[in-house]
């Protein structure tokens, strides 16, 4: 994004006045304060377009046309990039057709068994910014669907699994095939260093599975999925990791009872990328399941070098008077071109015309084939911004030790003395007692390790939150200083962000004297009413508020701004 230098302002109100989309204000000011050059940044190809990946899983309890829009609204409102659906109970072609009108924003992938549609079927709804990275998908009998996300320096595979709730003897082979397919793919990903996420409706309770292990019992054929994820591939159950007491968590509510049967499991390679986790009630359509979601930090999924980006530096201070005059004329020419083309009736459209005009002028060359604005291009290295908590290694050690202890309960000869010693040292620092040496016939150590894991998890999450708050504070301080000393950065930041707007075609206005509601449909009346509405501090009730003294100047109407700016 290119912006010319902005003059210094003595107070914020003058800056706000300057922000009104008047081309003359934008172009004719060229002071040499702190804004002598500007930078246009071009991200490298291996630079991620999204900083986070928000994934979720939901059993929709039969997909119908009436549920389509609420599902899309749910994804948009919660900013979900990839949503895994189970129990769609319709043909694959029908499900694809239902979401056809949203194809500009989302890509959908479904799979179902034509011979057994009811109570079956899985699918993915993928935001377009990640859909472009989907290189492969594979389904199996409406119970299994995988997608492969291929980026420049790493790949990730997401598995959507839906295990049948009531298993009969005839379903034994289906479950065995499903387990074999999942295990084969997870083993391949592990060998090829491909990150994996397994999510879906397992129709199984992980807590009951753990209780069986503590009692020395073997898991059922269905529960073998927990055994594979937990003990063989060392995956992490996001809910169990981030919630202090999973015994009170439920994702399924029905007359027969409530339990936690919907999961998101992630491979060890992306354990430290977990940002947050939520279990939400869905009230916009009928389902007996809750939405389970998790947010992962994207940039550190790749362990390769930081991306190489490029930037173009525009040196306005080196422009001659003739160059500046020619630059102004060209900007005005391009502004007229875009303004006539877009037929702007909104402030945002005028900003778009100004933005495009300035961008064109930055690339314009004169008769001598020279840029009007002296510029140079250079490269710089990207940075990994995740905060690596020192507690990460301790927590991983304890998690590995818990899994090793469970193996030792079934196989007393299993050796993990070095790992156990590390856990004992960690336990001593938290005043938690572990028996030394490890007793393979006792569950005492596993219980103590689980308590230690809970303590470390709380500290780990607090450490990450403190890091995030510190970054927010630092960014706030920088923005406040820019508002006083570097308005160019403020303007640049505003113009680089995606413009989002709400269109109102009807507004109900209550006459304060007669208390009669009047429906406004004229666009000018609506704009005037909305403008009047936002002259007051926004709170839950629309009424005049007492504005603090330090904010009074900002909220007062600006008399130097054209009153017809919203017309």
Report the distance separating Cα 363 and Cα 491, nearest Å.
20
* Lowest-pLDDT choice from 77-81, 469-473, 495-499: 495-499
pLDDT in tens, 443-467: 677 778 888 888 888 888 788 778 7
Quick one: what percent of the chain has pLDDT higher than 70? 77
Q: Are 306 and 276 in contact (CB under 8 A)?
A: no
The highest-confidence range among 156-160, 227-231, 509-513, 516-520, by mean pLDDT, is 156-160
**Whether residue 141 has pLDDT greater than 70:** yes
Greatest Cα-to-Cα distance within the chain, rounded to the nearest angstrom:
88
Of 86 and 336, more confident: 86
pLDDT for 341: 63
Segment 390-428, tens digit of pLDDT: 787 788 888 888 877 877 777 777 777 888 888 888 888
Interaxial angle between packed helices 391-410 and 417-429, expressed in degrees from 0 to 180 and rounded to the nearest 10: 130
Looking at domain 52-301, its CATH class is alpha beta
Query: For the chain, what are the domain ranges?
Result: 52-301, 383-497, 507-555
pLDDT in tens, 264-317: 999 877 877 888 889 999 988 889 999 999 998 875 444 444 445 567 778 877
Residue 59 has pLDDT above 90, yes or no: yes
Checking DSSP bridges between strand 262-266 and strand 274-280, what pairing results, if any?
unpaired
Segments of 269-330 assigned E as strands = 274-280, 291-297, 308-315
More reliable by pLDDT, 189 or 81: 81
pLDDT value at residue 270: 81
Residue 434 has pLDDT above 80, yes or no: no
Q: Is the pLDDT of residue 140 over 70?
A: yes
The mean per-residue pLDDT over the stretch 469-486 comes to 77
pLDDT at 482: 74
Q: How confident is the model at residue 262 (pLDDT cuts 50, 70, 90)?
A: very high
């Amino acid at each position: 994004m290119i912006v010319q230098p902005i003059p210094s302002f003595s107070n914020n109100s003058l800056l706000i006045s300057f922000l009104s989309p008047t081309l003359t204000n934008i172009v004719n000011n060229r002071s040499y304060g702190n804004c002598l050059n500007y930078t246009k940044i071009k991200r490298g190809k291996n630079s991620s377009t999204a900083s986070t990946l928000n994934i979720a899983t939901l059993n929709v309890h039969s997909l119908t046309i009436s549920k389509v829009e609420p599902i899309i609204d749910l994804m948009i409102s919660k900013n979900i990039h990839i949503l895994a659906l189970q129990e769609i109970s319709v043909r694959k072609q029908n499900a694809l057709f239902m979401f056809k009108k949203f194809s500009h924003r989302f890509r959908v992938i479904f799979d179902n068994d034509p011979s057994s549609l009811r109570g079956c079927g899985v699918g993915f709804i993928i935001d377009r910014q990640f859909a472009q990275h989907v290189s492969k998908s594979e389904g199996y009998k409406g119970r299994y669907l995988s997608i492969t996300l291929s980026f420049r320096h790493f790949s990730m595979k997401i598995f959507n699994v839906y295990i049948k709730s009531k298993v009969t003897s005839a379903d034994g082979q289906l479950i065995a095939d499903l387990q074999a397919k999942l295990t084969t793919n997870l083993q391949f990903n592990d060998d090829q260093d491909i990150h994996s996420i397994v999510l879906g409706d397992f129709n199984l309770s992980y807590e009951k599975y753990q209780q069986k292990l503590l009692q020395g019992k073997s898991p059922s054929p269905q529960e073998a999925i927990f055994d594979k994820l937990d003990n063989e591939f060392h995956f992490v159950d996001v809910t169990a990791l981030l919630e202090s007491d999973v015994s009170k968590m439920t994702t399924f509510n029905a007359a027969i009872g409530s339990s936690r049967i919907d999961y998101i499991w992630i491979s060890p390679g992306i354990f430290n990328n977990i940002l947050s986790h939520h279990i939400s009630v869905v009230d916009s359509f009928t389902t007996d399941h809750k939405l389970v979601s998790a947010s992962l930090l994207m940039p550190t999924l790749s362990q390769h070098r930081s991306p190489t980006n490029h930037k173009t530096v525009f040196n306005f201070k080196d422009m001659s008077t003739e160059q500046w005059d020619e630059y102004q004329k060209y900007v005005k020419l391009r502004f007229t071109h875009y303004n006539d083309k877009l037929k702007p009736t909104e402030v945002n459209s005028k900003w778009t015309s100004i933005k495009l005009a300035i961008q064109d002028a930055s690339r314009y060359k004169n008769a001598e084939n020279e840029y009007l604005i002296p510029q140079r291009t250079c490269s710089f290295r990207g940075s990994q911004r995740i905060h690596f908590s020192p507690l990460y290694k301790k927590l991983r050690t304890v998690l590995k030790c818990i899994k090793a202890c469970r193996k030792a309960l079934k196989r007393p000869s299993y050796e993990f003395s070095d790992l156990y010693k590390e856990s004992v040292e960690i336990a001593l620092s938290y005043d938690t007692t572990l028996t030394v040496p490890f007793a393979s016939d006792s569950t005492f150590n596993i219980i103590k390790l689980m308590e230690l894991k809970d303590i470390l998890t709380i500290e780990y999450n607090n450490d990450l939150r403190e890091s995030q708050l510190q970054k927010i504070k630092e960014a706030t301080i920088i923005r406040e200083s820019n508002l006083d000393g570097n308005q160019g950065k403020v303007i640049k930041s505003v113009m680089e962000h995606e413009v989002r707007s709400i269109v109102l075609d009807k507004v109900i206005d209550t006459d304060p004297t007669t208390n009669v509601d009047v429906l406004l449909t004229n666009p000018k009346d609506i704009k005037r009413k909305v403008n009047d509405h936002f002259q007051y501090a926004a709170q839950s009730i629309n009424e005049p508020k007492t504005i603090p003294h330090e904010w009074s100047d900002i909220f007062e109407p600006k008399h130097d701004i054209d009153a017809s700016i919203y017309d």
